[in-house]
Amino acid sequence: MTAAPVTVSTLRKMKTSSEKIAVLTAYDATFAHVLDDAGVEVILVGDSLGMVVQGRESTVSVSMDDMVYHTRAVAQGRKNSLLMADMPFMSYATVEDGLHNAARLMQEGGAHMVKLEGNANQVEIVARLTANGVPVCAHLGLRPQFVHKIGGYRVQGRDEQSARGLMSDAVALEAAGADLLLLECVPQNLAADITQRVSIPVIGIGAGVHCDGQVLVLHDLLGVTPGQRPRFSKDFLADGGSVYQAVVEYVQAVKEGTFPGPDHSFN
């Protein structure tokens, strides 16, 4: 990994040069150090911590205090990776709330970018955040914070109308100033079309190999998540070795385009 810290400009240059971006979650300083050392460009402090750290059934219960605490811990372990933190459920229900809570993640937690789930309805908050110097990643497709509204964890964008809606949302959020898009559980052909349409980097999870980068939950990558893991995940520790080596192999697989494969994608 380059000795220089990864920035938003770094990620844009990687998209332009067709260099894949490796993203992983972390929730503490020790794992942040491992990921940083292994060459992960972006470390995401995900509200997935509600499930894999706190043992909850969804991410909805995660609070701002939880996110600030874990973001601050990860900030102590990273050196070069860009640090992105999730805005938890209802923390950006109003523009004022979003501005206040994004400031907390950056000032108290040390985040370089915030991620929020939404669609074109979030154009105003994205525009206000970016106008105030906050880099934003917009999370489209399957949005775990909306799990109770949509009735479960389902692939999004399979029919023509919803596919057009996702494309429209992506374009609108880029225009509002989003620096990054994350597509979760989206058909791979649609994800490829969105990736080509927008000029900002697109990170996929269950969205096929044609995105500009990939993200996984660290616990899924290490095969330690209890119960059934998502189809789009892969256990990189299954063949033995160390945690560090598993992360290195993930980074290499993303860079080489061998992950995700057909078994980890949706049509």
In sequence order, which residues have a C-beta less than 8 Å from that of residue 203 and are 6 or more positions away?
21, 23, 42, 137, 180, 181, 182, 183, 211, 212, 213, 214, 215
Please report the sign of the dihedral spanned by the C-alpha atoms of residue 73, residue 116, residue 188, residue 48. positive
Catalytic residue selected from 41, 117, 174, 184: 184
For tokens 């660290």, the residue is 218
Bond from prior residue into 260 cis (ω within 30 degrees of 0): yes
Q: Are 137 and 180 in contact (CB under 8 A)?
A: yes
In the annotation, is 184 catalytic?
A: yes
Q: Which residue has the tokens 């400009």?
A: 9
Strands 42-45 and 82-86: parallel
Torsion, Cα of 164, 165, 167, 172 (10° steps): 140
155, two tokens: 């692939």
How many helical (H) and strand (E) elements, i.e. helices and strands, does the chain have? 11, 8
Amino acid letter at 217? V
DSSP track, 140-197: EES-GGGHHHHTSS-----SHHHHHHHHHHHHHHHHHT-SEEEEES--HHHHHHHHHH
Give the active site residues: 184
